[in-house]
Chains A and B, each alone.
Chain A
Amino acid sequence: MKPVPEPTRRLPLSMTVNGRPIELMVDARKLLADVLREDLGLTGTHIGCEQGVCGACTVLVDGRPVRSCIMLGVQADGCDVTTVEGITPREGLNPMQQAFKDHHGLQCGFCTPGFLMTLAGVTPQEFPDEESIRELLSGNLCRCTGYEGIVVAVMAAWGRDR
């Protein structure tokens, strides 16, 4: 992060997105989710509620899951950002994505990138049982599945019996 000593409306933003260094000028008021979608064309990050409740816009900032609709783009200056595009292999799906597909972890798919990024930003050992997994997932809303398929997918991807 570089210091910005005097208040300004527009400023340079430099960050790494999915391993690629990015430099651009942005309005200070532009949300990280909109920078990713509009300036970088990474539309896998979905915007649902725009108030930090639904979790659809979850991305990783320095490896930890955050809600990109309640973070300014300029707050990611100097950070390493990962979106759902960044965890998706060139061919096929990653193991968690495959588990979602195999176990009906999605229907309409709008919330799915957010769930995948939340899961990509935590260590499975911290969520040893189904109850703790459900609590982790409570920060992402899904209106289709009733969560059952998602929980089953996570348990399967993390090698847990159910």
Chain B
Amino acid sequence: MGWRGDERGRKCGSRVRNPDDVSVKPPPFKYARPESLDEVLRILSEYNGEARVLAGGQSLIPLLNFRLARPQVLVDIALVRELRQLEVERGVLRVGAAVTQNTVERSSDVARLCPLLTKALPFVGHVQNRVRGTVVGSIAHADPAAEMPAVALALQATMVARSAAGVRKIPADQFFLGPFTTALKPDEMLVEVRFPTSRKTRAAVTEVAPRSGDFAVAGVAGKLVTTRAGKARDVALALFGVGGSPQRLHDVEARLAGQRITGDLLDQVAALASHNARADSEDVHADAGYRAHVSGVLVRRAVEEMTR
């Protein structure tokens, strides 16, 4: 007999009884949960680069479980009231760093004034992730396959970064530097993202993913306004999942601007989008060539949806 039941049983029993002998996945870290933003920034400054902000933790805690991240300190922002604002002020939607994706997804103000966010959020993970995950955290994490960074880029959102030294406003097109890499400095945190609002804008998100809720192989976040004459204006299209950062398709936007959307034009912009997509992501699901091709297909579907 290779397996000794009683020995195994004793082991399991003692493991439950002894609180020090437990399975722990994340590496050791110190944890703080301050009540004010100033305290958060002070800790970030004190541990310069060795402290990480914990919001929803839907990306950070898996990284800790894998021990791919080994911060000395986690600063939980759950108690910081000033990071919980979700409000429209002078035509700008301000989303604080502690606002969950689920809260934004359910907001009727956001649906009316910033429909691209509302359309994109159901694609972000699953409901269990969105209950805890934050919009701002997803943007700061800058996963190449994530929807929120592409939405920020398409809407030309403004990133508000704070550190003990002061505040910096960074336009979205200068924020995403590469996979999981942003313009934030080690002692800075993204405290708020400001999205421009518009009542006239139509929005669409199209993506290809193995299953609902999986990371996208490729996707498009887009917005445009159709004039009374049926022509497109204020067009913005951003790809995600295709390269290391979300990318705007400026040439495609220019080709659509001022035009009536016809089948011929859609064929042209799909081809142009495939040609211009800087596809360098490759994995088991798709090579770069497929990602470039499907970018065009997804741009076509997004524009069709917005002008239907």
Is B22 an interface residue, CB under 8 A from the partner? yes
Is A155 an interface residue, CB under 8 A from the partner? no
- Residue A70 contacts which of B27, B39, B58, B213 (CB distance < 8 angstroms)? B58
* Interface size range on B against A: 35 or more
Is A67 an interface residue, CB under 8 A from the partner? yes
Is B180 an interface residue, CB under 8 A from the partner? no
Kindly specify which of B61-69, B107-115, B182-190, B256-264 makes contact with the partner chain.
B61-69
Is B265 an interface residue, CB under 8 A from the partner? no
Most buried by B among A27, A52, A69: A52
Would A66 and B132 count as touching, CB distance under 8 A?
yes
Would B33 and A1 count as touching, CB distance under 8 A?
yes
Q: Chain B residues near A51: list those with CB within 8 A.
A: 62, 65-66
Q: Chain B residues near A77: list those with CB within 8 A.
A: 33
CB distance from A133 to the nearest CB of B (A): 12
Q: Roughly how many angstroms separate A6 CA and B46 CA in the complex, as a whole number?
A: 12
CB distance from A106 to the nearest CB of B (A): 19
- Residue A5 contacts which of B15, B30, B34, B62 (CB distance < 8 angstroms)? B34
Would A29 and B22 count as touching, CB distance under 8 A?
no
B112-137 to A contact mask, C-beta < 8 Å, 1/0: 00000000000001111101100000
Most buried by B among A4, A7, A65: A7
Secondary structure of the A contact surface, majority rule: mixed
Is B32 an interface residue, CB under 8 A from the partner? yes
List B residues 82-129 near A (Cβ within 8 Å). Answer: 102, 125-129
Q: Chain B residues near A159: list those with CB within 8 A.
A: none
- Residue A9 contacts which of B28, B34, B54, B61 (CB distance < 8 angstroms)? B28
Kindly specify which of B72-80, B197-205, B242-250 makes contact with the partner chain.
B72-80
Interface residues of A, Cβ cutoff 8 Å to B: 1-9, 11, 27-31, 34, 38-39, 41, 50-52, 55, 58, 61, 64-67, 69-72, 74-75, 77, 118, 122, 135-136, 138-139
Would you give 5 A-B contacts (Cβ < 8 Å), ordered by A? A1-B79, A7-B31, A7-B75, A70-B65, A139-B126
Cβ-closest 4 pairs across A and B: A139-B126, A28-B31, A7-B30, A4-B33
